Chain A
Amino acid sequence: MSDILHHEHHNERPSHRPDWLWHLGVAGFVAVWWVVYHQLIPFSEWITSLVPVERHSHTGEAIAFFFYDVPKVMMLLTLIVFAMGVVRSFFSPEKTRALLSGKREGVGNVLSAGLGVLTPFCSCSAVPLFIGFVSAGVPLGVTFSFLIAAPMVNEVALVLLFGLVGWQVALTYLAFGLGIAIVAGFIIGKLKLEGWLQDWVREIHSGAGGAELIEGERLTMVDRYKLGIEAVKEIFGKVWIWIILGIAMGALIHGYVPEDLMVRIMGAEAWWSVPAAVVMGIPMYTNAAGVIPIVEALLGKGAALGTVLAFMMSVIALSLPEMIILKQVLTLRLIAVFIGVVGSGILAVGFLFNLIF
């Protein structure tokens, strides 16, 4: 089987495009990207100057904001999603499972959260992945660390935070996202809730779980580039409209919403704003792309960072549709514990940030 795969790899690659051309192409792309990226401010000013409005009016501000942020975010996303696509080609759920199975809690939770970020994951395969992990002897808490980190700490969220808010906030989000995944998974593991899985999941758990595995294909660097390009296409197909809508909304808030309003509603003074933000985030289901541009504009108008981050984490990590998917494998009690533990983590992060920043 692996022989056949191998053979095909060599045959199917277009022979007129040798490897070195691919390497050159990727290097050239990065160089051009770099040059263009540093011309974005003059570009946005130029576009704004074409529109017959006063540059420092509300409308002028909003337009400049829009034409600077949209290309910037699109460019950052292209580069980072491509890079992550290449990195992820070195990982697979099967390899991750092998690494995690039988790992002790603690170390296992840390490893699991990290792998959650690096392993290719789509929320539509959350259930098979969950069962695959648990049936192979990955402890429940360790599995949860993976399932919390995978959606919450994703490159789209990080790129948008980096591009629209700043690297400090992006880095803190990364650290606290991983932190919540590790600690929440650890606590769920300590509670020993294996009995709260749906019955049929437990059966697989105790029975002969390890179904046949696909033998690992060996990928060439060019295959990995192609996977990176696929990732860019896929992410863009999903998020471009949200980015444009989100930034347009952000631009409006940027130009028009009075500052003191946001300070009053979402400022650090209002202690209840953090729990309110978490609760509001649960029924909302959008990807990071849709929510972050709004987040940025809210921050610019005086909303507190902790409140805004709590809202964002809640939208991404605790969503109602995802709970409905997980209901297939988890009992309601276990889902309630999951929401409780992760929600408390998010609350803690929110309060902490409002205290620090």
Chain B
Amino acid sequence: MKSVKVYGPGCKRCETTAEMVREAAAKLGLEVEVEKVTDPKSIAMAGVMSTPGISIDGKLVHAGGLPEAGKLEGWLAS
């Protein structure tokens, strides 16, 4: 089971990103745990400067803007 964190202060794009992660995981048949991180301190500590950011199993893979669906699946699969 992969642990995915979506970093963002709770704007609409962050919600969409979390939803996209779930969809991509469902498509790949992967079990993931999606956690939304909204606290600015934690966001900053993770090294995310532009939101939404995504980390998978502790590794930051994306920051700033909505991810592309194709890339998202690639990150989850690898």
Contacts and interface: CB of A to CB of B under 8 A. Distances in A.
A4 B78 contact: yes
B70 A12 contact: yes
B24 interface: no
Interface in A99-152: 120-122, 124-125, 127-129, 131-133, 135
Nearest to A207: B45
B50 A93 contact: yes
B49 A125 contact: yes
Interface residues of A, number: 32
B51 A128 contact: yes
Given A8-B74, A121-B50, A122-B50, A214 B61 contact: yes
A204 interface: yes
A212 B60 contact: yes
A329 B65 contact: no
A267 to B, nearest CB: 41
A213 B71 contact: no
B29 interface: no
A127 B43 CA distance: 9
A4 B76 CA distance: 12
B49 A204 contact: no
A280 to B, nearest CB: 27
A328 interface: yes
A124 B40 CA distance: 11
Interface in A79-113: 92-94, 97
Interface of A: 1, 4-5, 8, 11-12, 92-94, 97, 120-122, 124-125, 127-129, 131-133, 135, 200, 204, 210-214, 230, 328-329
Interface of B: 7-9, 11, 13, 40-41, 43-51, 59-66, 68, 70-71, 74, 78
